[in-house]
Amino acid sequence: MNFIDRFMASWRKYRKPGYYEEFDYAWTMTVDLDRCTGCGACVTACQAENNIPIVGEKELGRGREMQWIRIERYWEGEYPNAKLSFIPMLCQQCDAAPCETVCPVSATYHNQDGLNAQIYNRCIGTRSCAVYCPYEVRYFNYYDHHWDAPLEQQLNPDVTVREKGVMEKCTFCVQRIRQAKDHAKDDGRRRVKDGEVQPACVQTCPSEALTFGDRKDANSVVAKKMNDPRAYHVLEETNTLPSVVYLKKVRANAD
Amino acid sequence: MQTEVRQARFADVNDDVVRSLVVTGRNYYIALGIAGFVTLTCFFFPWFYQLYYGIGAAGMNSPTVWGTYLASFIFWIGLSHSGTLLSCVLHLTNSEWRKAMYRSAEAMTFFSLFVAITMVMVHIGRPWFIHWAAPYPNQMGLWPNFRSPLMFDVMAIMTYLTGSGIFIYMGAIPDFAAVRDRTTGWRHHLYVLLSLGWRGTDKEWHRLGWAYTFLAVLIIPLAVSVHSIVSWDFALSIVPGLHQTIFAPYFVVGAIYSGTAGIVTVMFVLRKYMNFEHYITKLHFDNLGKLLLLLSLLWTYINMLELFTGWFSGTSTEYEQLKYKLTGFYAPLYWEMILFCAVAPLLLISRKFRTSFVPMLILSIAINIGMYTERFLIVATTLSRQYLPGSWRVYVPSLVEISILVGSLALFVTLFLLFVKIFPSISIYEIKETMGVPKKHGEHHDT
């Protein structure tokens, strides 16, 4: 009895309710679709920041393009009255991520910042995470990609270059987050200040449609934006608890 | 049936079986040569090409990241399902007619599993790290992800491979001993090793019988669990069309279905080309035909249920999936599958059909083509129509994939051809049990 009590106590301590919600940070991105012009600058910035390979025309035609953030376009209606809507789609850093449960080797896992992290060296390439992801934001290295002569000079030294057979995806520029945390520690602060760290896409966005921050800080920009009545999650019904919040586009002639 | 078995006399059994091991005709070498050549050129060369350049050699694309490799994997696991399972069930129910066919059926299980594991190696991006999916103490201090259905899969398949391997080997020990006593040269030495010093004492027979039944009881739930777990690779996702509770029984029934059809094919070939006409008779085809009919009806029922649950869910994604399955890009394949696996097997209602060999062969092959299609569709239709319409994309297998598919079939045939020359492909001692013993021997262990 005594043993069982002690065991249950330590079990409860280990499995405290809401364990997964107790992140050091809860990095969140908001995407204001009213501001987004669909220019694609975020896509380019991401490509440059994260050493994402340019797969080339042939592979693009075969549906193997790699864009950790992409602009999805949807056309409605026929030509004269055609309406275009678009939505930037990136890894939603879900708190209940389907991809994390399925990886047999735990190459993708949830880190203490609430990020859905991917360990390239651990990945064995079953691609099951890409199947389980409802947002289709995981990209597989079908080949070894290389950068021709002068181009390899512009690779970001803070980010690895992935080899063939490995899955990759948006990390919310984890290298920048790590750097910001290091700076904060050097300055003797416990936490990173709001606005101190931005992923490449947020930094680049000319219309400031994207904002990034820690939603645990009630005064941060993202925490305020999340309270906007336009806020929603994409595919909320799948219950993946995404960390990317979209702000709905308001149309003048709502139909 | 009675008269046909009578033709094979008790004394002939050993001779017949040993002859099948020792006497090798030209045709066998030709068949082995062709199978080996096809394996090398269609399986290993494309695979090495793919290993060198990357999975890009296959036709997979961004939403459809799984392709024919995974379909082949399910197919081979499915094919493996009936052999040992059927053998175990029939052993426990004391079915006499099992005895002529179970060895080859179990071999089919073993080699299908082997090919299935090879298909996993072909499927994954970095097969040289596949051991990371197994739990073993290592310097990195890392364990596999115990929540992952893929990890369950690794465990289940390795358990099944070990279990069915031991089962087929143990059942063959007395036969190895019988062959040992009738061969010379290197074969003799081989069978001395394989028979583990079997002498045929009462104690040995008793222990064999006990252990055999024990393993049979152990393997039946294992066979059911293996394919349930394979289905969870799909059903535990939230992909519309895959996220269904019916998937575990669906896969198990499908597996036994395609496996039984596979057994019919293998038995036809064995009967025809290994001169086992006396042992594999119309009775076997009749019984297997009845089983196939039952399984086809079950399979059809579950397929209808799958459509029903899709419709009943009432969500737009499931509707889209249903519409795509029935009328979309892959719809011709879907209707081909329905024709081969649900409509054609209704012919089995007629006893005349069940007891005629060539139509049974054709039907069994058609069923397996249909079942391969089913596995392909499970992967292709669902993955190419997921939640976000922006990333819908059709997947078509590449030449490398088709070549590897053909090559894996040849790999299976090669392994099976090697098997029939090493393992007595019909159980000598159990055939004899069905025949009754000549008076002179007196005591006999009877089950």
Model confidence pLDDT, tens digit, residues A178-208: 999 999 999 988 889 998 999 999 999 999 9
pLDDT of residue B324: 93
pLDDT of residue B364: 93
CB contact under 8 A, B55 and A123: no
d(CA B211, CA B197): 17
What is the DSSP annotation of A70-126?
A: EEEEEEES-GGG-EEEEEEEE----TT-HHHHH-TT--EEE-TTS-EEE-TTT----
Chain B nearest-CA distance from A152, in A, is 20
Chain A residues with at least one Cβ partner in B under 8 Å:
59, 62-65, 72-74, 87, 89, 98, 101-106, 122-128, 130-132, 134-136, 139-144, 164-167, 235, 237-238
pLDDT of residue B298: 95
Single-letter code of the amino acid located at A184:
A
Highest mean pLDDT among A2-6, A10-14, B299-303: B299-303
Q: Is the predicted pLDDT of residue B367 greater than 80, yes or no?
A: yes
pLDDT of residue A180: 93
Name the CA radius of gyration of chain B, rounded: 23
Chain A nearest-CA distance from B55, in A, is 5
Q: How far is CA B294 from CA B256, B290, B298, B342, B344, in A?
A: 11, 6, 6, 11, 13
* CATH number for the segment(s) A45-247: 3.30.70.20
pLDDT confidence tier of residue B244, bands split at 50, 70 and 90: confident
Cβ-in-10-Å burial (0-12, 13-18, 19+) of B109 comes to: buried
d(CA B392, CA B44): 32
Residue B297 is encoded by which pair of tokens? 């009806």
Q: Is the predicted pLDDT of residue B271 greater than 60, yes or no?
A: yes
pLDDT confidence tier of residue B80, bands split at 50, 70 and 90: confident
d(CA B276, CA A73): 65
Query: Which residues of chain A does B125 touch, with a Cβ-Cβ cutoff of 8 Å?
Result: 123-127, 140-141, 164-167
pLDDT confidence tier of residue B1, bands split at 50, 70 and 90: very low
Q: How far is CA A193 from CA A158, A202, B247, in A?
A: 22, 16, 49
Q: How far is CA A248 from CA A224, A233, A251, B253, in A?
A: 15, 10, 9, 46
Q: Is the predicted pLDDT of residue B432 greater than 50, yes or no?
A: yes
Residues in B 225-254 with any Cβ partner in A closer than 8 A: 233, 236-239
pLDDT of residue A253: 65
Which chain A residue's Cα is nearest to B394? A63
pLDDT confidence tier of residue A20, bands split at 50, 70 and 90: low
Chain A nearest-CA distance from B160, in A, is 19
CB contact under 8 A, B390 and A134: no
pLDDT confidence tier of residue B219, bands split at 50, 70 and 90: confident
| DSSP-assigned beta bridge partners for residue A186 | none
pLDDT of residue B436: 66
CB contact under 8 A, B62 and A59: no
Query: Which residues of chain A does B388 touch, with a Cβ-Cβ cutoff of 8 Å?
Result: 72, 89, 134-136, 235
Interface check B124 vs A, CB under 8 A: yes
d(CA A250, CA B266): 65
pLDDT of residue B431: 74
What's the whole-number mean pLDDT along residues B341-363? Answer: 91
Which chain B residue's Cα is nearest to A71? B390
φ and ψ at residue B77, rounded to 5 degrees: -60, -40
Query: Which residues of chain B does A68 touch, with a Cβ-Cβ cutoff of 8 Å?
Result: none
What is the DSSP annotation of A184-197?
A: HHHTT-SSPPTTS-
| Between A237 and B183, the higher pLDDT residue | A237
What's the whole-number mean pLDDT along residues B321-346? Answer: 93
Return the number of CB contacts < 8 Å for A and B: 144
Q: Is the predicted pLDDT of residue B184 greater than 90, yes or no?
A: no
Chain A nearest-CA distance from B62, in A, is 5
pLDDT confidence tier of residue B50, bands split at 50, 70 and 90: very high
Residues in B 391-420 with any Cβ partner in A closer than 8 A: 391, 393
Of the candidates B247, B263, B242, B245, the one whose C-alpha atom is nearest the C-alpha of residue B317 is: B242
| Between B141 and B58, the higher pLDDT residue | B58
Per DSSP, A228 falls in state S
**Any domain includes B423:** yes
Q: Is the predicted pLDDT of residue B5 greater than 50, yes or no?
A: no
Of the candidates B88, B116, B159, B112, the one whose C-alpha atom is nearest the C-alpha of residue B419 is: B112
Mean pLDDT of chain A: 89
Segments forming the whole domain that contains residue B199: 21-133+147-435
What is the length of chain B? Answer: 447
Chain B nearest-CA distance from A251, in A, is 21
Query: Which residues of chain A does B124 touch, with a Cβ-Cβ cutoff of 8 Å?
Result: 124-127, 165
**Any domain includes B4:** no
Residue A199 is encoded by which pair of tokens? 């992923």
The pairing of strands A108-110 and A167-168 is unpaired
Chain B nearest-CA distance from A216, in A, is 28
Name the CA radius of gyration of chain A, rounded: 20
CB contact under 8 A, B126 and A124: yes
pLDDT of residue B295: 93
What's the whole-number mean pLDDT along residues B105-128? Answer: 90
CB contact under 8 A, A105 and B61: no
The rounded percent of chain B whose pLDDT value lies above 90 is 43
CB contact under 8 A, A131 and B237: yes
**Any domain includes B430:** yes
End-to-end CA distance of chain B: 21
Instruction: Check: pTM over 0.90? Answer yes or no.
Output: no
Query: Which residues of chain B does A101 touch, with a Cβ-Cβ cutoff of 8 Å?
Result: 145, 147-148, 236
Q: Is the predicted pLDDT of residue A63 greater than 50, yes or no?
A: yes
CB contact under 8 A, A131 and B125: no
What's the whole-number mean pLDDT along residues B365-380? Answer: 93
Residue A94 is encoded by which pair of tokens? 């879900």
CB contact under 8 A, B56 and A103: no
Nearest to B54 among A89, A104, A144 (CB): A144
| Between B77 and B267, the higher pLDDT residue | B77
**Any domain includes B186:** yes
Interface check B148 vs A, CB under 8 A: yes
Q: Is the predicted pLDDT of residue A16 greater than 70, yes or no?
A: no
CB contact under 8 A, A101 and B238: no
pLDDT confidence tier of residue B4, bands split at 50, 70 and 90: very low
CB contact under 8 A, B56 and A64: yes
**Any domain includes B15:** no
d(CA B346, CA B183): 47
CB contact under 8 A, A128 and B154: no
Residues in B 156-185 with any Cβ partner in A closer than 8 A: none
- HEC sequence for chain B: CHHHHHHCCHHHHHHHHHHHHHCCCHHHHHHHHHHHHHHHHHHHHHHHHHHHHCHHHCCCCCCCCCCHHHHHHHHHHHHHHHHHHHHHHHHHCCCHHHHHCHHHHHHHHHHHHHHHHHHHHHHCCCHHHHHHHCCCCCCCCCCCCCCCHHHHHHHHHHHHHHHHHHHHHHHHHHHHHHHHCCCCHHHHHHHHHHCCCCCCCHHHHHHHHHHHHHHHHHHHHHHHHHHHHHHHHHHCCCCCCCCCCCHHHHHHHHHHHHHHHHHHHHHHHHHHHCCCCCCCCHHHHHHHHHHHHHHHHHHHHHHHHHHHHHHHHCCHHHHHHHHHHHHCCCHHHHHHHHHHHHHHHHHHHCHHHHCCHHHHHHHHHHHHHHHHHHHHHHHHHHHHCCCCHHHCCCCCCCHHHHHHHHHHHHHHHHHHHHHHHHCCCCCHHHHHHHHCCCHHHCCCCCC
Is residue A139 classed as helix, strand or coil in its secondary structure?
strand
pLDDT of residue B447: 44
Which chain A residue's Cα is nearest to B56? A142
Chain A nearest-CA distance from B247, in A, is 16
What's the whole-number mean pLDDT along residues A126-144? Answer: 93
CATH number at residue B70: 1.20.1630.10
Residues 6+ apart with CB under 8 A from B340: B366, B367, B369, B370, B373
d(CA A161, CA A147): 10
Q: Is the predicted pLDDT of residue B180 greater than 80, yes or no?
A: yes
Residues 6+ apart with CB under 8 A from B187: B21, B22, B179
CA atoms within 13 A on the CB side of B65: 28
| DSSP-assigned beta bridge partners for residue A168 | A139
CB contact under 8 A, A64 and B237: no
Chain B interface, mutation test: which of A67, A68, A85, A127, most B Cβ atoms within 10 Å?
A: A127
The rounded percent of chain B whose pLDDT value lies above 70 is 94
pLDDT of residue A19: 59
Mean pLDDT of chain B: 86
Residue B230 is encoded by which pair of tokens? 């394979």
What's the whole-number mean pLDDT along residues B283-302? Answer: 92
Q: Is the predicted pLDDT of residue B40 greater than 90, yes or no?
A: yes
Nearest to A134 among B125, B236, B387 (CB): B387
Which chain B residue's Cα is nearest to A234? B388
What's the whole-number mean pLDDT along residues B372-396? Answer: 91
Structural domain count of chain B: 1
Tokens 């204001």 label which residue? Answer: A32
CB contact under 8 A, A105 and B132: yes
Tokens 């002068």 label which residue? Answer: A150
Is residue A28 classed as helix, strand or coil in its secondary structure?
strand
Q: How far is CA A184 from CA A180, A193, A221, in A?
A: 6, 8, 19
d(CA B280, CA B286): 11
In this structure, are residues B405 and B97 in contact, taking their beta carbons and an 8 Å threshold? no
- H or E element, residue A30: strand A27-32
